[in-house]
Structure 1
Amino acid sequence: MITTDRHRILEIFKNLVKIDALSCNEKPVADFVREFLKGKSVTVTEDNSGKETGSNTGNIIIKRGTGGKFMLTAHMDTARTTENITVVVDEGTGKIHTDGRTILGADNRQGMATILYLIELAENNPEIEDFTAVFFTCEETTLGGSKNLEVPAWVEAGIVFDSSHLPGKFVYRAPGSKTFTLEILGRASHSGIAPEKGINAIGIAAASIARLKQGRLDDDTTMNIGIIEGGTATNVVPEKVKIVGEVRSFKPQRLEEELERVLNTFEEEVKTAGAAITKAIYEDFTPYELSPDHLAYQLAYNAIRATNMEPQPVISFGGSDANSLNGLGIPSVNLGIGAQNPHANDEFVMWEDMVTTANIGLNIVRKK
């Protein structure tokens, strides 16, 4: 009978969050993983994704035995620094947080701690089947690590330990997203002496935005303009303005429709004003939806049930490494681990949720 050591999981987690590693600088975490796994019956490799992401390390791939049919994943970077972190554990409530000066880094060092603990638990344990683990780079910025993963040939499904939902929930459906960056070029002129000679780029942007509906467009689709940069002085008709926004949708066709609506609106206003525009489109992540017959869905569902919980498949409007993996042809879900208030200084996780996540993970890798 395998039992979960709550103190060991916490110890691994606390060691991980002490490592300050933002996106593209995950090498200290990768080095920690290699040291942690020394002497264990696994094969550790690093892929070549760093050439694409710009990170100082590639993704770390860990193969137990044959590698099995599925992989457990988490990402090595944090959204903000954990430098000089002080971890506080409230023994009464079980709440794990910081002293408020930094984030906790549970997103996603808790996912990493769970997987490393499972690898440690699996050592010389005949009750646990072979599996693969992958630790990604650059999740917080571009999902670059998972997008550029050199997928192990034997893997058929992925379980991502990275959802802020509580244990018991898992994300089986998530939207795709595309970012648009537009630059409008008007004409500068003195705003007091000769405003007629200018073409106001900010004015064009304002007219375009005023015509566009933003926010939740329907049950499946959102659009947001989040960045506007332009102008040089109050007495100069602004020559340039940069606009950055995104469209998200569960349905690829709706995503393309709304993106086209945005671009057409800006182009019409630019043409009317006699200005010029440049456009750049970047695919942030692809949408996915798994049915109950997929292996990843079944692994998560059955493991949660085996942990004496009611499985709750949920949808999310956020993107994760699960989007990338599905886009690469590896059906994957994102498991709730209970890391709450991610990216904020009041980020926390309950110790009990940490243990429950480990138990769900154990039921995923336990021989059936």
Structure 2
Amino acid sequence: MKVELTSKAAEKVNEERLVKLFLEMAKINGPSGKESLVAAFLTDELPKLGFQLTFDEAHTNFNGEVGNLIAWHKGTDDTIPPLFFSTHMDTVLPTEHLKPIIKDGVIYSDGTTILGADDRAALASYIEAMRAIIESGVPHGPIELILTVNEQAGLVGAKYMDYPKIKSKKGYIFDSSGDVGQIILQGPYSSRIWFMINGNAAHIALNAEEGRNAFLIAAKGLLNMKLGEIDSETLANIGIIHGGELTSIIPGSVTLGGEVRSFSKEKLEAQLKHMQETMEVAAKKYQGTVEVRIDEKYLGFNISEENILVQTVTKATDNIQVSSYLTKTLGGADTNVLNENGLTCITLGNGFQNIHSFRENISIENLVNTGRLTAALIEQWYERHKSQ
């Protein structure tokens, strides 16, 4: 059944063309830090749509192939404040030799690679939306694309972004597993915590009495540590354990790595303190020592329902006949880092599923609606500012 749209630009989004573009882009191999082929494709494609391109030098901070890409389209009316759309160029795993399969309106890989819908779906949709904007002839303000590298490794490209190169102040990031219509207003604070636990190494047969097993110290600490869902706003996890030399050696050291996320900065700090003190108590009780290091990953954000970005996307979803809803997530995205660096943006759902696995998929409906909503946002952003 044909959906009746009230967005002239969204009507021009071409499903066949978008699916073809997505499949082409998904096949471009670009795991984190190795995005040069993706950048080359965009360097060829975006100028055809009127974008001027700039790369920063973020990659020099982590031995990557290419920096973040910032693309500027002057629009048809420069009295309108510019609007940006952002996503990342990398995938969590390679998509080399990708063989896509379409079944019952859903795009999968053949099960031997990831699909790369996270987030080639947004990249392809942004391009198709700009094609639709141009073909529709609707007036629009300047549009900026902020396309990051090395996102999957921990929002690294965004952290090293050359922010003075960015001209716009407000925008959207399509990068969530929720269906199109999901509007994420709040994201978490997140920090990593590392424990370097020391006991005393010894041979089990020659001097076992001198041994103090660092594994047992760590185990005692973990047993007394609150982990998992701490409350409705806070999560904590230990995800890395490194240590040991030989099966005959009582281990004298072990390193643990974990992470805490919370919507509340105070709760995040309280949980980190609890984890540190719990391990320190265990180390002291069993005659060991522990060094603790805390690394801030990113800050949280919380956008008001009254913000113009929220009002614009709510109207734009209505214009493409998609239901919208407001929510929050403990998942991290470039949204956290961009907001931390003086921009204002929110995360939107584009409907990829089972990401970071060979079962990854996206429905054609969500892919097309991502393109439609991007076009409708550009159109609605212009209309909202012209009416003021």
Q: Same fold (TM over 0.5)?
A: yes
1:153 Cα deviation from its structure 2 partner: 5.1
Conserved? CA contact 1:68–1:132, under 8 Å: no
Which whole-Å deviations, capped at 9, do the CAs of 1:200-234 have from their partners, x for residues lacking one?
11111011111111111111111111111222223
Q: Among all aligned residue pairs of Structure 1 and Structure 2, give the percentage whose two residues are the same amino acid.
A: 28
Conserved? CA contact 2:227–2:237, under 8 Å: yes
1:119 Cα deviation from its structure 2 partner: 2.8
The change in CA–CA distance for 1:153 and 1:36 in structure 2 (over 3 A counts) is closer
Q: Does 1:77 align with 2:103?
A: no
AA in 2 matched with 1:334: T
1:302 Cα deviation from its structure 2 partner: 2.2
Q: Does 1:339 align with 2:339?
A: no
- Secondary structure at the aligned position of 1:357 is classed as helix
Conserved? CA contact 1:158–1:325, under 8 Å: no
The change in CA–CA distance for 1:135 and 1:10 in structure 2 (over 3 A counts) is same
Map 1:184-333 onto structure 2 (within 5 A): 184-333=197-346
Map 1:137-156 onto structure 2 (within 5 A): 137-151=149-163, 152=165, 154-156=167-169
Which whole-Å deviations, capped at 9, do the CAs of 1:93-126 have from their partners, x for residues lacking one?
2111111111110000001101122233344734
- Secondary structure at the aligned position of 1:159 is classed as strand
2:378 to 349, 365, 368: 365
Q: Which residue is 2:68 aligned to?
A: 59
Q: Does 1:133 align with 2:145?
A: yes
1:68 Cα deviation from its structure 2 partner: 4.0
1:285 Cα deviation from its structure 2 partner: 2.0
- Secondary structure at the aligned position of 2:339 is classed as helix
AA in 2 matched with 1:51: T
May I ask how many residue pairs the two structures share in their alignment? Answer: 366
Conserved? CA contact 2:351–2:366, under 8 Å: yes
- Secondary structure at the aligned position of 1:71 is classed as strand
226-235 vs 311-320, which deviates more? 226-235
258-267 vs 144-153, which deviates more? 144-153
Tell me the distance in 1 between the aligned counterparts of 2:295 and 2:60. 19
Tell me the distance in 1 between the aligned counterparts of 2:328 and 2:26. 28
- Secondary structure at the aligned position of 1:38 is classed as helix
Tell me the distance in 2 between the aligned counterparts of 1:201 and 1:262. 17
1:172 Cα deviation from its structure 2 partner: 0.9
Mind listing any 5+ residue stretches in structure 1 that lack a counterpart? none
Tell me the distance in 2 between the aligned counterparts of 1:50 and 1:232. 35
Q: Does 1:169 align with 2:182?
A: yes
Tell me the distance in 2 between the aligned counterparts of 1:351 and 1:294. 30
1:357 Cα deviation from its structure 2 partner: 1.2
1:195 Cα deviation from its structure 2 partner: 2.1
1:127 Cα deviation from its structure 2 partner: 2.9
Tell me the distance in 2 between the aligned counterparts of 1:57 and 1:33. 12
Conserved? CA contact 1:74–1:136, under 8 Å: yes
Tell me the distance in 2 between the aligned counterparts of 1:154 and 1:130. 10
Which whole-Å deviations, capped at 9, do the CAs of 1:141-195 have from their partners, x for residues lacking one?
1201112222345322120011110011121111111111211122111223432
Tell me the distance in 1 between the aligned counterparts of 2:279 and 2:208. 22
Q: Does 1:100 align with 2:122?
A: no
Q: Does 1:109 align with 2:116?
A: no
Conserved? CA contact 2:31–2:93, under 8 Å: yes
Tell me the distance in 2 between the aligned counterparts of 1:112 and 1:39. 15
Tell me the distance in 2 between the aligned counterparts of 1:321 and 1:307. 26
2:27 to 10, 18, 37: 18
TM-score, normalising length: structure 2: 0.90
Q: Which residue is 1:121 aligned to?
A: 132
- Secondary structure at the aligned position of 1:163 is classed as coil
TM-score, normalising length: structure 1: 0.95
1:5 Cα deviation from its structure 2 partner: 0.4
1:36 to 37, 40, 45: 45
AA in 1 matched with 2:297: D
- Secondary structure at the aligned position of 1:19 is classed as coil
Mind listing any 5+ residue stretches in structure 2 that lack a counterpart? 1-7, 384-388
- Secondary structure at the aligned position of 1:37 is classed as helix
Q: Does 1:159 align with 2:172?
A: yes
Tell me the distance in 2 between the aligned counterparts of 1:76 and 1:31. 11
The change in CA–CA distance for 1:87 and 1:68 in structure 2 (over 3 A counts) is farther
